[in-house]
Amino acid sequence: MSIIKSVVISCAGIGSRLGSGTPKSLLDINGRTLISRQLDYFRTVENIRIVLGFRANDIINEVLKYRNDVVFVFNHEYFETKTGASFYVGAQYAGDYVLEWDGDLIVHPDDVDSILNTEGEFICYSDITSDEAVFVQTDKDGNVLAFSRESGDYEWTGPACISKSRLKPSNQNVYNMFEPNLPMKGMKIRAYDIDTQYDLERVSNIVKSWEV
């Protein structure tokens, strides 16, 4: 059983930059949907909460193929709000510590295990790979000092874990919700999000290399 008891997966967005009309959580990565891979990550987690918006029924049907104990939460304003709003509504009635996980994020399985067995609050980051990254600035011990659109040591990808008591309603991005609590413990992981068709092709190849 993992230390982290509650995971919020934000799957409400429309994935407009992909231009396919398919929610990112339903994207096919080497024969498996992204959400099915994420659910496999969390097979030891008791409380999984999935935030829905765009094409909610399709995502529910896919999730129920793998687990029937997931809590579905709706962000009815998904078209007008950012990821912070989905995380906030998903975290309501969750456990004391909540792990935020974007619905378009793929993480190396070994790093998932490390995340799920880390106590307390922390922020994950990766090597810089995106053209339009949100940067993470760290100290010599890897603690997160700041987020920046200008420069940094690493790239913000999430996931991140925080005490539910610190969360406030937000219409900002998830990383903005963590800024008032910095500095925080940092963890470097192998993680990639999917924003474009190029990202999807790249991630498919990366995942294939992990599974060799």
Handedness of CA 155, 117, 11, 52 (dihedral sign): negative
Q: Which two tokens stand for residue 160?
A: 């991140």
For residue 62, the model assigns a pLDDT of: 98
* Predicted structure pTM score: 0.94
For residue 37, the model assigns a pLDDT of: 97
Nearest to 178 by CA among 128, 143, 153: 143
For residue 188, the model assigns a pLDDT of: 97
Q: Yes or no: say if 105 and 193 are a contact pair by the CB < 8 Å rule.
A: yes
What residue type is 36 in one-letter code? S
For residue 5, the model assigns a pLDDT of: 77
CA pair distance 29, 208, nearest whole angstrom: 9
pLDDT tens figures, 188-198 = 999 998 888 88
For residue 130, the model assigns a pLDDT of: 82
CA pair distance 62, 25, nearest whole angstrom: 9
For every one of its 212 residues, what pLDDT tens digit does the chain have, with 9 covering 90 and above?
Answer: 567 779 999 999 887 666 668 899 999 999 999 999 999 999 999 899 999 999 999 999 999 999 999 999 999 999 889 999 999 999 999 999 999 999 999 999 999 999 999 999 999 999 998 878 899 999 999 999 999 999 999 999 999 999 999 999 988 999 999 999 999 999 999 999 888 888 899 999 999 999 87
pLDDT tens figures, 5-27 = 799 999 998 876 666 688 999 99
For residue 17, the model assigns a pLDDT of: 65
**Structural domains of the chain ordered from first start:** 6-124+157-204 (3.90.550.10)
